[in-house]
Amino acid sequence: MLSRAVRPALRAGAAVSSRAAAPAATFATLREIEGRLKSIRNIEKITKTMKIVASTKLTRAQRAMNDSQNYGKTSNEIYKSAETTATEAEGKKKLVIVCSSDKGLCGGVHSGLSRFIRKRIASGDDNFDLVIIGEKAKAQLSRTSAKNIRLSFLGTGKDIPTFAEAQAIADQVVQIAGEYSEVEILYNKFVNATSYEPTIIEAFSEEALANSRASPVLSWNVS
């Protein structure tokens, strides 16, 4: 056993040892914090660069959208002026074309369209088939409405949409459109950069265009 004289010396030595270790632990912690701050600053630089790139892309996309809106409004005015209405066909389904995309990380753009379709089915209006443009909406609707999906198109619109892409989709839709009473297009109407409104527009058949009541000066060529 240790003598009473030795015990105080050991306790004093242990206290000195613990006090000597304390600055080392503090120094290590400060270095860790400094490293984390440096990492955060680097992330801040990256996110600022990403924000600039995203802002540039958004401005370009909004400019293209405004140009296309002018074209779309003019096209819709022609149908309104011609008093074009859908032809009635009892016992046939409707065809709904859902315009989505293949990319995510864009808020409720895809889920809004899918929710619109699910609500429509839940309300009892389920006598329709789907043509889905875009992988995201297809993945969401496949879980609840797989039996309604007639066609799907993936990989479109990776870059700026082209007429050739639209024509390739339209060619396949036209082949089956005669099986349906109406064809509707569901898309996200732009409200602002963070808000979109699921909107339905009607795609008229060749017969409906030919039978427009107020289009004597127009010659429809849909061949």
The chain-wide mean pLDDT, for the chain, equals 80
Cα–Cα nearest to 133, from 158, 106, 108, 115: 158
What does 2-69 look like in DSSP terms, one character per residue? --TTHHHHHHHHHHHHHHHHHHHHHHHHHHHHHHHHHHHHHHHHHHHHHHHHHHHHHHHHHHHHHHHH
Per-residue pLDDT for 23 more than 80? Answer: no
pLDDT of residue 83: 66
Helix, strand, coil shares of the chain, percent, nearest 5, are: 55, 15, 30
What mean pLDDT comes out for the span 181-210?
A: 83
For 149, counting Cβ atoms within 10 Å of its Cβ (0-12 exposed, 13-18 middle, 19+ buried), the class is: middle
pTM for the predicted model, two decimal places: 0.67
Catalytic residue among 6, 10, 37, 106: 106
| Residues shown for the chain | 223
222 compared with 116, residue with greater pLDDT: 116
27 compared with 129, residue with greater pLDDT: 129
Is 106 noted as a catalytic residue in this protein? yes
Q: For the chain, give the percent of residues with pLDDT over 90.
A: 32
pLDDT of residue 35: 87
pLDDT of residue 39: 92
Q: For 60-115, how does the pLDDT look when each residue is reduced to its tens digit (9 = 90+)? A: 888 888 888 787 788 777 767 766 676 666 667 899 999 998 887 776 788 899 99
Q: Tell me whether strands 182-192 and 128-133 are parallel, antiparallel or unpaired.
A: unpaired
**Using CA atoms, how far apart are residues 14 and 11, in angstroms rounded to an integer?**
5
36 compared with 87, residue with greater pLDDT: 36
pLDDT of residue 149: 95
Q: For 133-182, how does the pLDDT look when each residue is reduced to its tens digit (9 = 90+)? A: 999 899 999 999 999 999 999 887 677 778 888 899 999 999 998 888 88
- Given a contact cutoff of 8 angstroms between Cβ atoms, the answer to whether 130 and 141 are in contact is yes
**Using CA atoms, how far apart are residues 144 and 5, in angstroms rounded to an integer?**
82
3-class DSSP state of 200:
strand
82-210: CATH class: alpha beta
